[in-house]
Amino acid sequence: MSEIALLKNLREKASQKKRTIVLPESHDERVLRAAEILTKEGIASIITLGNEEKIRAQAAELKIDLTGIRIIDPERSDKLSDFANIFYNLRKHKGITIEQARETVKRDIFFAGMMVREGMAHGSVAGSVATTADVTRAAIFCVGLKEGISILSSFFLMAYPDKVYSFADCAVNPDPDPNQLADIAISTADNHKKLTGEEPYIAMLSFSTKGSAEHPLVDKVRNATQLVREKRPDLKVDGELQFDAAIIESVGKKKAPGSEVAGRANVLVFPDLNAGNIGYKIAQRLGGAEAVGPVNQGVKRPFFDLSRGCKVEDIVNTAAIACLMAD
């Protein structure tokens, strides 16, 4: 499946979900143009944040049609006091004052975080202006991690002509421990199913297959595999597996006979960021895969981070993925 075909499919599926997505960075022209496309194509209902007069003036100057797009000014919103009190109670153990809480939730990405937390939107897409650190803080402080998940992580959809894989974690966590690695696997499997409709087959990758080598790095993957089985006995997972044993049927049968995952894996969980980042770039640059992502995961509701160099289409596609990942 080409990237274009994959993204077209994701947009079409998103349009059936009728989700609401908040795009907080309305002062960015790219965000307004993405909001227009998302609305006109019926992919999602869109809320933008900021001063309405300024936004409408900017849109008029850029010839952007804001019909059907809701605009909320955090500083004038009747939700500001409620959001400030909620945020204060969430963070008071860190010494924050109510005044500091109020000033924090006035900021567009934190106001968006509170909207998502309180169910006013199904997800948020930000980061065309804000730093990754700020978007991540808003996600964790406002929305919070999913129950039973210990870590915010990321994954890439890697599209080939005949198959789509999910690779994780290739962008966020340098050296997850076994429990974190297990949670990355669980998050990625659930999201792979949401986005592709396929049953996930999870390979916990290593330089060893089923005891072919002994090393503390192999033990980490084995322990993580066992934790996935204990936490989610409904998932099909196996490890430790080498990459070839995970995806090539003949190799899987030879190296891991009897495994229900070996040779058919579609969710590939790398042991650390070194392996994951190198692995997805090799698949992309030498293997010809189309990479979609990174997509953040692990928070209760989608709260996604963009590259500050993103294009309008990147914002649109990320919003479509947020629609599909929302419960």
CATH architecture of 3-144+299-325: 3-Layer(aba) Sandwich (3.40)
* CATH 3.40.50.10950-classified regions of the chain: 3-144+299-325
Listed in order, strand segments (DSSP E) in 24-172 are 45-49, 70-72, 123-126, 153-160, 163-168
CATH number for region 153-294: 3.40.50.10750
Whether the Cβ atoms of residue 254 and residue 276 lie closer than 8 Å to each other: no
* CATH 3.40.50.10750-classified regions of the chain: 153-294
Instruction: Name the packing angle between helices 108-117 and 98-106 (round to 10°).
Output: 100
Q: In 10 A of CB 239, how many CB atoms? A: 31
For residue 166, give the nearest of 203, 207, 128 by alpha carbon.
Answer: 203
Peptide linkage before 198 cis (omega within 30 of 0)? no
The reported pTM is 0.89
Residue-level pLDDT, tens digit, the chain, 327 residues: 666 788 889 999 999 999 999 999 999 999 999 999 999 999 999 999 999 999 999 999 999 999 999 999 999 999 999 999 999 999 999 999 999 999 999 999 999 999 999 999 999 999 999 998 899 999 999 999 999 999 999 999 999 988 999 999 999 999 999 999 999 999 999 999 999 999 999 999 999 999 999 999 999 999 999 999 999 999 999 999 999 999 999 999 999 999 999 999 999 999 999 999 999 999 999 999 988 888 999 999 999 998 888 899 999 999 999 999 998
